[in-house]
Amino acid sequence: MKVIGIVGSPRKNGNTNAVVQEVLKGAAEAGAETQTFLLNEMNYRGCQACDYCKTHEKCKLEDDLAELFEEMKKADGIVFGAPIYFAQFSGQMRLFLDRCYSMVNPDHTSRLPAGKKAVIVGAQGMPDPAAYTAVYDEFGGEISRFMGMDIRDTLVAAGYHAPGEVKDNAQLMEKAKNTGLKLFK
């Protein structure tokens, strides 16, 4: 089994990555090989709307996302993590998601093998965990519909501002680890 984490936060040691790493820790304890991709440290551009990917099996752009897309194909599980900035996922995550268009066939079916498990992780300064439910629900719906993934859990770190302060929330961190442990059960 392989589980990858895709982190769309500019803070390497931020709250989003802390929760993603806890999910991956649980998956590793359950026997999975894990790997993390920090989008902010990768070199990539947005979708060019060229439709090359609709007549070929991949995106025309040969940047750091090419490797990530290959790892997504191989992975059994994917943890998508992003902070909420101005009521939406971070720009890093949105730019990546636009490029996921290349993972969809012309008939809108997924190019990824079926049966992948997914976890959505979000971090937000707003203390109300339900404040951005629509963002998480929309993202989960798109992941399910366009990528054919089974969303196993959505974890929201609400009310955190300082990098890494979510680690003090033992209950959320335990839930994140348990999500990783049970990802394939």
Range of the domain at 78: 2-181
Predicted pLDDT of residue 146: 85
Looking at residue 163, the DSSP 8-state letter turns out to be T
Q: How many domains does the chain have?
A: 1
Q: How far apart are CA 101 and CA 78, in angstroms?
A: 17
- The helix or strand, by DSSP H or E, that contains position 81, with its residue range, turns out to be strand 77-85
Find the mean pLDDT for residues 115-133: 96
The percentage of residues in the chain with a pLDDT greater than 70, rounded to a whole number, is: 100
Task: Label residue 46 by pLDDT band (50, 70, 90).
Answer: very high
CATH number at residue 138: 3.40.50.360
Region 26-52: what's the mean pLDDT? 97
pLDDT band at 121 (very low <50, low <70, confident <90, very high): very high
- The model's pTM: 0.96
Return the pLDDT at 47: 96
Q: Decide if pLDDT at 20 tops 90.
A: yes
Q: With 0-12 CB in 10 A as exposed, 13-18 as middle and 19+ as buried, what is 128?
A: exposed
